């Protein structure tokens, strides 16, 4: 359930932002939400601003790994941040890490709600 919610949400963000997405982004989003859910459960007492920083770092790290595999290894060219300043191998850049920082706020809300649903099940 978490994987599906994360994948669909990530795909929706991609469609809204870039007007296109790719199946690998659905998988990436699912992985991100699974990881974030577990981490946020462990650091539930930490202030929101620190959780946002953790979320940004984790999502950026997942994107980097996926980008290295999908874009660099398999040459699928799903995205390329080479033109964005301070990018790393065209796979990640500070601009999107900052955006992930702020998008972690609704992700925190989703994780909290999902914790309640999972407790209920």
56 near 101, Cβ under 8 Å? yes
Write out the two tokens for 30: 């699912």
59 near 84, Cβ under 8 Å? no
Determine the Cα–Cα distance for residues 10 and 59; give it in Å rounded to an integer: 11
Specify the pTM: 0.93
pLDDT digits (tens, 9 = 90+) for 56-112: 999 999 999 999 999 999 999 999 999 999 999 999 999 999 999 999 999 999 999
* Residues with Cβ within 8 Å of residue 63, at least 6 apart in sequence: 28, 91, 92, 96
Determine the Cα–Cα distance for residues 19 and 40; give it in Å rounded to an integer: 30
Instruction: Give residue 120's pLDDT.
Output: 64
| DSSP secondary structure letter of residue 32 | H
* Packing angle, helices 23-42 and 94-120, rounded to 10: 70
| Residue numbers of the domain that contains 67 | 2-120
119 pLDDT exceeds 90?
no
Instruction: Give residue 116's pLDDT.
Output: 84
121 pLDDT exceeds 60?
no
Name the domain count of the chain: 1
């Amino acid at each position: 359930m978490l994987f599906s919610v994360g994948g669909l949400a990530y795909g929706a963000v991609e469609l809204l932002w870039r007007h296109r997405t790719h199946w690998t982004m659905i998988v990436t989003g699912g992985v991100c939400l699974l990881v974030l859910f577990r981490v946020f459960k462990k650091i539930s007492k930490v202030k929101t601003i620190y959780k946002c920083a953790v979320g940004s770092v984790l999502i950026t790290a997942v994107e980097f790994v996926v980008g290295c595999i999908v874009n660099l290894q398999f040459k699928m060219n799903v995205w390329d941040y080479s033109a964005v300043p301070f990018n790393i191998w065209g796979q990640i850049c500070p601009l999107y890490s900052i955006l992930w920082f702020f998008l972690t706020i609704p992700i925190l809300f989703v994780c909290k709600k999902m914790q309640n649903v999972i407790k209920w099940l």
